[in-house]
Amino acid sequence: MGTIHLFRKPQRSFFGKLLQEFRLVAADRRSWKILLFGAINLTCTGFLLMWCSSTNSIALTAYTYLTIFDLFSLMTCLISYWIMMRKPSPVYSFGFERLEVLAVFASTVLAQLGALFILKESAERFLEQPEIHTGRLLVGTFVALSFNLFTMLSIRNKPFAYVSEAASTSWLQEHVADLSRSLCGIIPGLSSIFLPRMNPFVLIDLAGAFALCITYMLIEINNYFAVDTASAIAIALMTFGTMYPMSVYSGKVLLQTTPPHVIGQLDKLIREVSTLDGVLEVRNEHFWTLGFGSLAGSVHVRIRRDANEQMVLAHVTNRLYTLVSTLTVQIFKDDWIRPALLSGPVAANVLNFSDHHVIPMPPLKGTDELNPVTSTPAKPSSPPPEFSFNTPGKNVTPVILNTQMRPYGLGLNHGHIPYSSMLTPGLAVPGIGATPGFRTNFTNLPGRYGTNNRIGQPRP
């Protein structure tokens, strides 16, 4: 609906929609606080910029950019509230979770670009150092510092908190880590604030303020103006150091990469999947983070020709579902189009159409009733004959499951015990026993393949 509306009136609806979304967000009481802080931030930034031009200090400018970054982070926070209320639209089928990531990425990159500007400006200032007026320098510093700290500590900024936790440690944090560890040795109470690692934003705010205080002191005492440029460079570098890991982390999410910390788990799951009965190969696995945290993925699973697709699909999905919430599994078989050497009229029937790509499968009646509980594809204690890839004339067994509905509670009741211990062979025996047709077919097969000049290879 929304898109059609947009399409009809493209001019008015952009701002209209923006206003509408804004109203939606503003309806939430939590966002009022953010809006209030945003308003304070704007005035504060305005004052700071004025003081920057009056003091002519580039270090204060660099520090003001941190305040502007705070504004961005507030906006990100607002966006994350908005995301919680939005449902996926047909166009943005994955939902808007990634907007949060994009907002984090954009604000960290913008902060770094601002730092780059500061570096450029200070390179020019090194050539010709202008005079710095210290009048408002200290005032500005403390206004900015108190405001930044106040914002950081009073607003729970979910996306930034997540990123600063998940991203790798910045060099600034590394350097402070030793210091804070020894400090916590003296005063153990501080360990909740300092110890795993300090909040990077608080850290950079404090460090920047410290640099500015030093600047103020040196200029007051010695009229040593170059220290202003130097501390501007220091603040810019610290900004880089703080923002870089976060932008790398969020950038990697945007690049649809597999997060490194889940690779171990994923590997384990994929190994489990590939040991399922009937699975020959797992390939084209793409796993990536959708927003912060939730994993999406798609995988192709190649199965034996005689394996039950739906069962394998269910088991693969079940395994991966614990980790990957948005999952698509494509099951494919090699040579499925080839005629099946099934006994009886089916084979002959299929053979007629073997060159055609649409094979009308004869509606087979279900040979046995397959109980979903007992259809566990576990490895039997005596393994069934293995089949090689692309074996011609392999047995396609179109298993037609019973179509009658089973009372749900039954499936649930049965489901617990056998499925949770799927790979134990002992429990799987009834599953095999329930499909006698399969067993006989399997046991007959190897002799047939022996004549087919291709002995079954062991499964990978």
Partner 1 sequence: MEEKYGGDVLAGPGSGGLGPVDVPSARLTKYIVLLCFTKFLKAVGLFESYDLLKVVHIIQFIFILKLGTAFFMVLFQKPFSSGKSITKHQWIKIFKHAVAGCIISLLWFFGLTLCGPLRTLLLFEHSDIVVISLLSVLFTSSGGGPAKGGVLLLVLALCCKVGFHTASRKLSIDVGGAKRLQALSHLVSVLLLCPWVIVLSVTTESKVESWFSLIMPFTTVIFFVMILDFYVDSICSVKMEVSKCARYGSFPIFISALLFGNFWTHPITDQLRAMNKAAHQESTEHVLSGGVVVSAIFFILSANILSSPSKRGQKGTLIGYSPEGTPLYNFMGDAFQHSSHSIPRFIKESLKQILEENDSRQIFYFLCLNMLFTFVELFYGVLTNSLGLISDGFHMLFDCSALVMGLFAALMSRWKATRIFSYGYGRIEILSGFINGLFLMVIAFFVFMESVARLIDPPELDTHMLTPVSVGGLIVNLIGICAFSHAHNHSHGASQGSCHSSDHSHSHHLHGHSDHGHGHSHGSGGGGMNANMRGVFLHVLADTLGSIGVIVSTILIEQFGWFIADPLCSLFIAILIFLSVIPLIKDACQVLLLRLPPEYEKELHLALEKIQKIEGLISYRDPHFWRHSASIVAGTIHIQVTSDVLEQRIVQQVTGILKDAGVNNLTIQVEKEAYFQHMSGLSTGFNDVLAMTKQMESMKYYRDGTYIM
**Interaction with partner 1 in 115-134: which residues (CB under 8 A)?**
116-117, 120, 123-124, 127-128
Which range binds partner 1 by CB under 8 A, 69-77, 148-156, 223-231, 298-306? 298-306
- What is the closest distance, in whole angstroms, from the C-beta atom of residue 75 to partner 1 in the complex? 14
Considering beta carbons, is residue 18 or 113 the nearer one to partner 1? Answer: 113
Considering beta carbons, is residue 311 or 445 the nearer one to partner 1? Answer: 311
Site for partner 1 in 346-385 (CB under 8 A): 357-359, 361, 363, 370, 372-373, 375
- What is the closest distance, in whole angstroms, from the C-beta atom of residue 78 to partner 1 in the complex? 17
Should residue 10 be labelled a site residue for partner 1 when binding is judged by CB under 8 A? no
Residue 289 sits at φ, ψ, to 5 deg, of -90, 135
Binder to partner 1 among 18, 36, 42, 113 (CB under 8 A)? 113
Should residue 92 be labelled a site residue for partner 1 when binding is judged by CB under 8 A? yes
Binder to partner 1 among 6, 35, 75, 109 (CB under 8 A)? 109
Considering beta carbons, is residue 382 or 404 the nearer one to partner 1? Answer: 404
Should residue 263 be labelled a site residue for partner 1 when binding is judged by CB under 8 A? yes
Residues 322, 290: contact at Cβ < 8 Å? no
Contacts with partner 1, 146-185, as mask; x by CB under 8 A: ----------------------------------------
Should residue 114 be labelled a site residue for partner 1 when binding is judged by CB under 8 A? yes
- What is the closest distance, in whole angstroms, from the C-beta atom of residue 152 to partner 1 in the complex? 23
Considering beta carbons, is residue 72 or 81 the nearer one to partner 1? Answer: 72
Considering beta carbons, is residue 184 or 262 the nearer one to partner 1? Answer: 262
Q: How many residues bind partner 1 (CB under 8 A)?
A: 81
Considering beta carbons, is residue 273 or 370 the nearer one to partner 1? Answer: 370
Should residue 260 be labelled a site residue for partner 1 when binding is judged by CB under 8 A? yes
Considering beta carbons, is residue 372 or 446 the nearer one to partner 1? Answer: 372
Should residue 13 be labelled a site residue for partner 1 when binding is judged by CB under 8 A? no
Site for partner 1 in 312-351 (CB under 8 A): 313-315, 317-318, 321, 326, 328-333, 336-337
In whole angstroms, give the CA distance from residue 242 to residue 207. Answer: 11
Site for partner 1 in 44-83 (CB under 8 A): 53
Should residue 457 be labelled a site residue for partner 1 when binding is judged by CB under 8 A? no
Only one residue has tokens 């614990």, namely 322
- What is the closest distance, in whole angstroms, from the C-beta atom of residue 39 to partner 1 in the complex? 20
- What is the closest distance, in whole angstroms, from the C-beta atom of residue 314 to partner 1 in the complex? 3
Binder to partner 1 among 5, 181, 268, 286 (CB under 8 A)? 286
Buried b (16+ CB within 10 A) or exposed e, 340-359: bbbeeebeebbeeeeeeeeb
In whole angstroms, give the CA distance from residue 219 to residue 276. Answer: 72
- What is the closest distance, in whole angstroms, from the C-beta atom of residue 359 to partner 1 in the complex? 7
Secondary structure string (H, E, C) spanning the chain: CHHHHHHHCHHHHHHHHHHHHHHHHHCCHHHHHHHHHHHHHHHHHHHHHHHHHHHCCHHHHHHHHHHHHHHHHHHHHHHHHHHHHCCCCCCCCCCCHHHHHHHHHHHHHHHHHHHHHHHHHHHHHHHCCCCCCCCCHHHHHHHHHHHHHHHHHHCCCHHHHHHHHHCCCCHHHHHHHHHHHHHHHHCHHHHHHHCCCCCHHHHHHHHHHHHHHHHHHHHHHHCCCHHHHHHHHHHHHHHHHHHHHHHHHHHHHHCCCCCHHHHHHHHHHHHHHHCCCCEEEEEEEEEEECCCCCEEEEEEEEECCCCCHHHHHHHHHHHHHCCCCEEEEEEEECCCCCCCCCCCHHHHHHHHCCCCCCCCCCCCCCCCCCCCCCCCCCCCCCCCCCCCCCCCCCCCCCCCCCCCCCCHHHHHHHHHHHHHCCCCHHHHHHHHHCCHHHHHHHHHHHHHHHHCCCCCCCCC
Only one residue has tokens 């494919």, namely 332
Considering beta carbons, is residue 13 or 199 the nearer one to partner 1? Answer: 13
- What is the closest distance, in whole angstroms, from the C-beta atom of residue 313 to partner 1 in the complex? 6
Considering beta carbons, is residue 130 or 185 the nearer one to partner 1? Answer: 130
Contacts with partner 1, 394-423, as mask; x by CB under 8 A: ----x-xx-x-xx-x--xx-xxx--xx---
Which range binds partner 1 by CB under 8 A, 104-112, 235-243, 273-281, 439-447? 104-112
- What is the closest distance, in whole angstroms, from the C-beta atom of residue 333 to partner 1 in the complex? 6
Site for partner 1 in 420-439 (CB under 8 A): 420
In whole angstroms, give the CA distance from residue 74 to residue 68. Answer: 10
In whole angstroms, give the CA distance from residue 123 to residue 233. Answer: 9
Residues 437, 401: contact at Cβ < 8 Å? no
